[in-house]
Chains A and B, each alone.
Chain A
Amino acid sequence: MQSDNQNVDRIDVSYVAHLARLHLDKEEIESFQGQLEETLDYVRKISELDVEGIEPTAHAVSVQNVFRADEERPGLNREQVLENSPAHNEEQILVPKIIE
């Protein structure tokens, strides 16, 4: 985030929306563009702080080594699973054809 180069942070809304698999229409892209730029402009205030040598916090609690034993437990029955899915055959969840 270079403050001397304003263009670096101009968010490419349609590209990021594609990364997030959101099919936006033109009006949405336009209105989001301004709103997101304004928000980004605001959150960039964290660059004012000197964070040299500060460890990042990923968890609000410092707990480690939380494990479970390797034991089998019953899961869901297939009817329940298939009923929740928008499209399925007798045993699988169906999606439009995956093309590599």
Chain B
Amino acid sequence: MNYLVSIGLEVHVQLRTVSKMFCGCATGFGAPPNTHVCPVCLGYPGTLPVMNQDAIHYTVVAGLLLGSNISDYSKFDRKSYFYPDMPKNYQISQYDRPLCDGGSVDIEIDGLQKQIGITRIHLEEDVGKSTHFSGKSGVDFNRAGIPLMEIVTEPDITSADEAMSFLVALKQIMLYGEVSGCNLEEGNMRCDVNCSVRPETQSRLGTKTEIKNMNTFKGVHAALLYEIDRQVQALESGEQILQETRRWDPDAGITIQMRVKESEHDYRYFPEPDLMPVVLDSDKIEEWRAQLPELPRERRTRFVEQYGLPDYDAGILVEDKALADYYEEAAKQSANPKAISNWMMTEMLRLLSERGLELGDIAMKPESLAGLVKLTDSNTINSSTAREVFGILFAEGGDPAHIVKEKGLAQVGDSDLLDKLVKQAILDNPRSVEDYRSGKKAAAQFLVGQVMRLTKGKANPKLVQDLLRTKLDG
């Protein structure tokens, strides 16, 4: 029997505001526990929330980038449930009037395009964080009240790979839109995974399970591989799938039942009386639409046209916004944007991956790369020296012209000197000369190498070649 898989994701994306959703507390990651708190986000008696304007803006930007319909009328609601990390024991969220409805994300899977539908995007506040000791739990409320955008997909995803592609594509769009730092280590993107399987002969969706609070893409992928298999096997052996919440155990590589969906989940939503509705007129939405950043696909086309890059190269560069921004910064300062791209596609990506670094970690500035290309193009240094200088820039940063000067790496283009050295190479290697003259033209390369060795690699290889030919052929 073949089975169909339906996966829907609820992705919580932390917005990049400097202050919390409803108060002025800082949102920075890694502060000591309970130091980014105030009476409002601690739910002290008498306090009231006030909406962060930028949180609304970023959510709308995300919606516009995903092709959502932006609601002209939106409101906040209270979602009631008790939990020690939730200060008010209700979460301010959006129930029936979210900021954005609909939309989609395009993914590419096995070379084929596929569209994953977005159901809605709403805005809500994060809860605190608990850590567990023996017999007790400790609560840190720094995270409580940080704005989270919840992006809910349709159950259009049909495999773990598609889920992975979706998350990667979504992250790329969020980064391009500059609505979130999307830093997974800091919990900027967390998701709940809904998954069901059904025999291909069945049209109605199977019973779904929900895997809660996944904070890595790899985890989502692995958990789905396991969960799909688990459900299929259960159906094969005639068992029933329970509608339940499960937890992914990354060490054991399995999902574990947390709780069966109780009727007790009665959130008692009602409109938040302390917050006024958000009414966005079309002028405001159009103003924001006009300010939307260029998305990867558009940027790729532009890179091809503006900088004369091959489509493939442009595709690689735009995949990571930081990489594309870096490229563009360097290309703007260079007469040879294609060379900039070559450096980035080869040395840059190789060194980054070898050393496990991010672009933001390295000292080398875009203007240094542009400078390096200029030195090569003007024949000040040859290509092997250029690689050496790139390595230094990558590790330490600095001005390439200064490095070349300081380390005496400038190309030797003095023909009198080279003429002397060529003569010496001919004298020292009679056999190679003989080989050349007897038709083994490759022997000339050996002689060029000898001259390069004598100049410690700095000779202009083309000049050396010309001089040799003149002497040997003449």
Contacts and interface: CB of A to CB of B under 8 A. Distances in A.
B138 A58 contact: no
A76 B51 contact: no
Interface in B123-172: 130-141
B271 interface: yes
Interface of B: 17-19, 23-26, 32-39, 41-42, 50-56, 75, 82, 84, 89, 130-141, 247, 258-259, 264, 266, 268, 270-271, 273, 275-279
B132 A97 contact: yes
Contacts of B41: 75
A36 interface: no
Interface string A44-87: 00000000000000110001111111111111111001100000
A97 B133 CA distance: 7
A92 B258 contact: no
B278 A65 contact: yes
Contacts of A43: none
25 contacts: A21-B82, A59-B276, A69-B54, A70-B53, A71-B18, A71-B19, A71-B24, A72-B18, A72-B19, A73-B19, A73-B23, A73-B25, A74-B38, A75-B24, A78-B34, A89-B138, A91-B33, A92-B131, A92-B139, A92-B140, A93-B34, A95-B138, A96-B136, A97-B135, A100-B247
B416 to A, nearest CB: 67
Given A75-B25, A75-B38, A82-B34, A97 B276 contact: no
Contact of B138 (A75, A81, A94): A94
Contacts of A97: 132-137
B276 A94 contact: no
B18 A92 contact: no
Contacts of A8: none
A82 B134 CA distance: 20
A75 B37 contact: yes
A1 interface: no
Nearest to B284: A65
B136 A94 contact: yes
Contacts of A21: 82, 89
Given A67-B56, A93-B138, A98-B132, A72 B34 contact: no
A72 B24 contact: yes
A64 B279 contact: yes
A100 B83 CA distance: 11
Contacts of B273: 58-59
B302 to A, nearest CB: 31
B137 A96 contact: yes
B50 A68 contact: yes
A94 B137 contact: yes
A20 B152 CA distance: 29
Nearest to A100: B258
A73 B24 contact: yes
B34 A81 contact: yes
B36 A75 contact: yes
A6 B53 CA distance: 48
A98 B137 contact: yes
A81 B139 contact: no
A95 B42 CA distance: 15
A9 B330 CA distance: 71
Given A93-B138, A95-B137, A98-B137, A66 B50 contact: yes
Given A64-B278, A91-B140, A95-B139, A70 B55 contact: yes
A44 B258 CA distance: 39
Residue from B17, B50, B138, B140 with most neighbouring chain A CB atoms (10 Å): B138
